[in-house]
C-alpha cells in the first residue's frame, strides 16, 4: 500500500507519539504500512521535537529505505537534530516539520493551525479515510491529580478547562468524520465527577453522537454516529466477574495482560462510524507476563551520582556513591537492619556498600556503546525494541540522588532481592527513615505514604511508569543493589516499549515526562492490527 492510498492518521494531544508510533509501524501482509500519519499535534515544545525527529525516521522506515547515518549521529549526540535539515536529508526533514505540529488545542491560534491543515490535506472530505487518535490531557482526571487539586484553595472542578479538553477531540471528529477513532485516558476518568455527576458516561454519549454533544441535531445519518467498542476482552477464566455490556469498566485495559512489561491500567475507547459495517475483534489476555528484567537486564549497568548540592563544597559528603551511602548506612543503622530485618539483609547491605563492580560506572554521556541482547531475543518484542545499527543505547544517564536516598535505595533493593517484595516504610530501620512527620506513626499504624520508596521487582512487570519520575525516583528504584539508583529514561522507555532508536529530546526532566505520559507503542501496534483487519474486511 503506498502513501497515496493509505489511511490517514491524525494524532491529537500526541505527546512524544506512542499511539502514532504503533499505528505507523504496523505492516499488513502484502500491503505495507496501511496507516500514514498526516499530522500529529503537541503543545509541549520538547515533546514536539521528539515527534518531529521520529517523523524524520519514519520517512525512511515506512518506505523501506535505509535509515541515514546522520539520524544515528543525532542519537549518539554527535550532531544536533536540526542538522538533519541540510544536505541529502533535507526533503525528509521538511516532511517531518510539516507533519509534526507545535500547537495548543483549545486556543484560537492552535485550533486555526489544525483546521487549516485538515482542509489543506482534504481530510475533511469523507472520500479520504481518516483514523483519529488521541488522549486529551489527563491531569484533571487522574487520581493523583485530583488529590493534588483538593489541596488548592478555591479549586472547583467545574472551572478546570482540562475537564472539557476532550471537546477539542469531538470537534476534530465532526470536522473529519473519521472511519474510526481511538481515545485513551487514565483509569481515574471512570470515577471523575463534574457537578456531582460522573464524567465518563457523558463522554461515551458524546462520542456516540458528536453533533448532538456540540449542540446540533445528529439526525438519522449513520455517518454522523459511532459504535463504541472496548479494545480488550474479559478473560472468562479469570477471577474477575465478567462485566455487563453497559459497564464503563469494560474499556479499562490492563497492559500487563497483553505483553507489556508494566502494570499500566488505562481506558481505551474505539469508535467505528455506524455506516461502516465492521467491528474489531477485541484482544484476548495472554497467560504469560513480560517481566521488568527481561526488557532492561541487558542495558549497560550504571551507578547513580551524588546530587551536587550535597557533594560540592561539602567536606562531610563525598561524590563517591558508596561513600555517600555509607555516611547514612552507619553501624547503628546496620545493627537496626539486623534486628528488624534479619542477618542476611544486614550482611548483603555490607557487601554492596564495600564492593564496587569494575563494570559499573557513573556515566555522564547520553549515549553508551553496547552490544544489546535482551532476554528472549527471538521474540517479537525484542525485535521491536532492538536496533543493531544504533550500536548502543541513548537516553541512558542515571539521576543524581542525595546521600540519604542512596542509603535507602541500597537497603530497599537488597530487601527486595532477598524477600521478593519492596519494603514498606514500616520495614525500614529508624536511622534510614525520611524526616517526614508521617514517615512512622506513634500508634504503630501504617504511614500515609507507606510505599514512598518502591523497588521495581525483576521477575514481575513494572508498576505504572508515570511522569513523576521527572521529580524523583523513589517509586522506581532499580532492582540491582550494585547500581544504587532509580531508573534511567531509557529503562523507563523500554518498560513503555519504545524502540531503542526512539530518541527523547529536551532536558532529562522533560524526557521522563514524555515517557511517563505516553501510550505504550507496542500496545498501540496491537490496536492498529485489529482495527486494520476490521476496516479491510469492510473495504476501507
Span of 376-385, 459-468, 490-499 with lowest mean pLDDT: 376-385
Give the tens place of pLDDT for each residue, 23-57. Answer: 999 999 888 999 999 999 999 999 999 999 999 99
- CB-side neighbour CA atoms (13 Å) of 139: 10
Nearest Cα neighbor of 377 from 294, 321, 315, 433 is: 294
More confident residue, 83 or 237: 83
What is the pLDDT, as a whole number, of residue 150?
44
Distances in whole angstroms, Cα of residue 474 to Cα of each of 81, 274, 366, 416, 455: 32, 47, 22, 14, 8
Residue 267: pLDDT above 60? Answer: yes
Residue 417, H or E segment: helix 403-419
Long-range Cβ contact pairs of 24-27 (< 8 A, separation 24 or more) = 24/58, 24/62, 25/61, 25/521, 25/525, 25/528, 26/525, 26/528, 26/529, 26/532
Distances in whole angstroms, Cα of residue 402 to Cα of each of 305, 477, 478, 485: 9, 14, 16, 11
Residue 102, H or E segment: strand 100-102
What is the pLDDT, as a whole number, of residue 151?
46
Nearest Cα neighbor of 105 from 184, 48, 37 is: 48
Name beta bridge partners: 130.
8
Span of 168-177, 267-276, 299-308 with lowest mean pLDDT: 299-308
**Whether 335 contacts 275, CB under 8 Å:** no
**Whether 488 contacts 288, CB under 8 Å:** no
Q: Return the C-alpha cell found at 208.
A: 456516540
Residue 430: pLDDT above 60? Answer: yes
Residue 5: pLDDT above 80? Answer: no
For residue 320, what pLDDT band results from cuts at 50, 70 and 90?
A: confident
Distances in whole angstroms, Cα of residue 243 to Cα of each of 19, 145, 186, 246, 413: 26, 27, 19, 8, 38
Average per-residue pLDDT for the chain: 87
Q: Return the C-alpha cell found at 248.
A: 464503563
Span of 106-110, 180-184, 316-320, 332-336 with lowest mean pLDDT: 316-320
Mean pLDDT (whole number) for 227-240 = 77
For residue 373, what pLDDT band results from cuts at 50, 70 and 90?
A: confident
Residue 158: pLDDT above 60? Answer: no
Residue 354: pLDDT above 80? Answer: yes
What is the pLDDT, as a whole number, of residue 434?
85
What is the pLDDT, as a whole number, of residue 441?
45
Span of 195-199, 241-245, 273-277, 513-517 with lowest mean pLDDT: 241-245
Alpha carbon distance 210, 200 (integer Å) = 15
Q: Find how far residue 300's CA is from the centre of its chain.
A: 22
What is the pLDDT, as a whole number, of residue 258?
96
Residue 198, H or E segment: strand 197-198
The rounded percent of the chain whose pLDDT value lies above 90 is 67
Mean pLDDT (whole number) for 509-517 = 97
Domains defined along the chain, listed by start? 3-291+519-537 (3.40.50.150), 293-517 (no CATH)
Angle at 259 between CA 253 and CA 261, to 5 degrees: 90
DSSP 473-523: -TT-B-S-TTT-SB--HHHHHHHTT--TT-PPPS-HHHHHHHHHHSPPHHH
Reported in sequence order, the residue ranges of 326-478 that DSSP labels E, i.e. its strands, are 367-369, 392-394, 400-401, 462-463
Mean pLDDT (whole number) for 126-150 = 65
Residue 13: pLDDT above 70? Answer: yes
For residue 180, what pLDDT band results from cuts at 50, 70 and 90?
A: very high
| Total Cβ atoms within 10 A of residue 144 | 14
| SS3 letters across 203-266 | HHHHHHCHHHHCCCCCCCCHHHCEEEEECECCCCCCCCCCCCCCCHHHHEEEHHHHCCCEECEE
| SS percent in the chain: helix, strand, coil, step 5 | 40, 15, 45
What is the pLDDT, as a whole number, of residue 196?
83
Mean pLDDT (whole number) for 225-231 = 96
**Whether 394 contacts 75, CB under 8 Å:** yes
For residue 124, what pLDDT band results from cuts at 50, 70 and 90?
A: confident
The backbone torsions φ and ψ at residue 127, rounded to the nearest 5 degrees and listed phi first, read: -75, -15
Within 8 A by CB and 6+ apart from 49, the residues are: 81, 505, 506
What is the pLDDT, as a whole number, of residue 412?
97
What is the pLDDT, as a whole number, of residue 16?
97
Residue 411, H or E segment: helix 403-419
Mean pLDDT (whole number) for 322-339 = 93
Residue 146: pLDDT above 50? Answer: no
Mean pLDDT (whole number) for 352-372 = 84
Residue 526: pLDDT above 90? Answer: yes
117: DSSP letter:
H
What is the pLDDT, as a whole number, of residue 307?
84
Residue 292: pLDDT above 80? Answer: yes
Give the tens place of pLDDT for each residue, 85-123. Answer: 988 899 999 999 999 999 999 899 999 999 999 999 999
Residue 440: pLDDT above 90? Answer: no
* Residue found by looking up cell 484553595 in the block: 153
What is the pLDDT, as a whole number, of residue 413?
97
Q: Return the C-alpha cell found at 430.
A: 529508624
What is the pLDDT, as a whole number, of residue 449?
55
Amino acid at each position: 500500500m503506498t502513501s497515496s492510498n493509505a489511511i490517514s492518521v491524525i494524532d491529537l494531544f500526541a505527546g512524544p507519539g506512542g499511539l502514532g508510533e504503533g499505528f505507523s509501524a504496523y505492516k499488513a501482509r502484502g500491503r505495507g504500512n496501511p496507516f500514514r500519519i498526516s499530522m500529529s499535534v503537541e503543545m509541549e515544545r520538547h515533546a514536539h521535537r521528539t515527534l518531529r525527529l521520529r517523523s524524520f525516521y519514519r520517512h525512511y522506515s515506512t518506505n523501506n529505505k535505509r535509515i541515514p547515518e546522520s539520524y544515528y549521529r543525532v542519537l549518539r549526540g554527535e550532531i544536533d537534530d536540526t542538522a538533519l535539515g541540510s544536505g541529502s536529508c533535507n526533503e525528509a526533514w521538511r516532511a517531518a516539520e510539516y507533519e509534526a505540529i507545535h500547537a495548543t488545542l483549545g486556543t484560537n491560534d492552535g485550533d486555526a493551525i489544525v483546521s487549516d491543515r485538515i482542509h489543506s490535506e482534504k481530510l475533511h472530505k469523507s472520500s479520504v479515510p481518516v483514523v483519529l487518535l488521541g488522549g486529551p490531557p489527563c491531569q484533571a482526571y487522574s487520581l493523583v491529580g485530583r488529590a493534588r487539586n483538593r489541596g488548592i484553595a478555591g479549586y472547583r472542578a467545574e472551572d478546570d478547562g482540562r475537564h472539557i479538553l476532550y471537546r477539542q477531540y469531538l470537534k476534530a471528529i465532526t470536522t473529519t468524520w473519521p472511519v474510526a477513532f481511538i481515545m485513551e485516558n487514565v483509569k481515574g476518568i471512570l470515577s471523575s465527577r463534574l457537578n456531582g455527576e460522573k464524567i465518563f458516561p457523558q463522554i461515551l454519549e458524546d462520542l456516540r453522537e458528536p453533533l448532538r454533544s456540540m449542540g446540533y441535531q445528529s439526525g438519522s445519518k449513520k455517518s454522523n454516529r459511532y459504535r463504541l467498542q472496548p479494545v480488550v476482552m474479559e478473560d472468562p477464566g479469570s477471577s474477575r466477574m465478567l462485566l455487563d455490556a453497559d459497564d464503563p469498566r469494560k474499556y479499562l485495559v490492563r497492559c500487563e495482560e497483553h505483553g507489556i512489561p508494566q502494570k499500566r491500567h488505562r481506558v481505551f475507547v474505539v469508535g467505528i462510524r455506524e455506516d461502516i459495517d465492521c467491528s474489531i475483534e477485541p484482544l484476548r489476555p495472554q497467560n504469560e507476563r513480560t517481566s521488568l528484567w527481561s526488557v532492561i537486564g541487558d542495558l549497560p549497568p550504571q551507578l547513580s551520582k551524588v546530587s551536587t548540592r550535597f557533594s560540592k563544597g561539602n567536606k562531610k559528603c563525598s561524590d563517591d556513591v558508596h561513600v555517600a551511602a555509607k555516611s547514612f548506612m552507619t553501624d547503628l543503622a546496620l545493627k537496626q537492619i539486623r534486628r528488624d530485618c534479619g542477618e542476611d539483609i544486614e550482611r548483603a547491605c555490607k557487601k554492596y556498600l564495600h564492593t564496587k563492580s569494575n563494570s559499573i560506572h557513573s556515566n555522564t554521556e547520553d549515549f553508551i556503546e553496547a552490544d544489546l541482547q535482551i532476554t528472549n531475543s527471538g521474540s517479537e518484542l525484542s525485535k521491536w525494541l532492538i536496533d543493531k545499527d544504533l550500536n548502543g543505547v541513548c537516553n541512558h544517564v542515571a539521576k543524581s540522588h542525595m546521600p540519604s536516598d542512596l542509603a535507602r535505595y541500597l537497603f530497599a533493593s537488597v530487601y527486595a532481592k532477598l524477600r521478593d517484595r519492596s519494603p514498606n516504610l514500616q520495614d525500614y530501620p529508624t536511622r534510614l527513615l525520611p524526616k517526614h512527620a508521617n514517615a512512622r506513626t506513634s500508634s504503630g499504624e501504617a504511614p500515609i505514604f507507606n510505599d514512598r520508596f518502591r523497588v521495581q521487582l525483576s521477575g514481575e512487570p513494572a508498576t505504572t511508569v508515570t511522569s513523576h519520575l521527572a521529580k524523583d525516583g523513589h517509586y522506581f528504584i532499580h532492582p540491582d543493589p550494585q547500581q544504587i539508583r532509580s531508573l534511567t529514561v531509557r529503562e523507563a522507555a523500554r518498560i513503555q516499549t519504545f524502540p531503542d532508536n526512539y530518541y527523547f529530546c529536551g532536558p532529562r526532566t522533560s524526557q521522563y515526562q514524555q515517557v511517563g505520559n505516553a501510550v505504550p507503542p507496542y500496545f498501540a501496534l496491537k490496536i492498529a492490527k485489529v482495527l486494520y483487519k476490521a476496516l479491510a474486511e469492510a473495504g476501507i
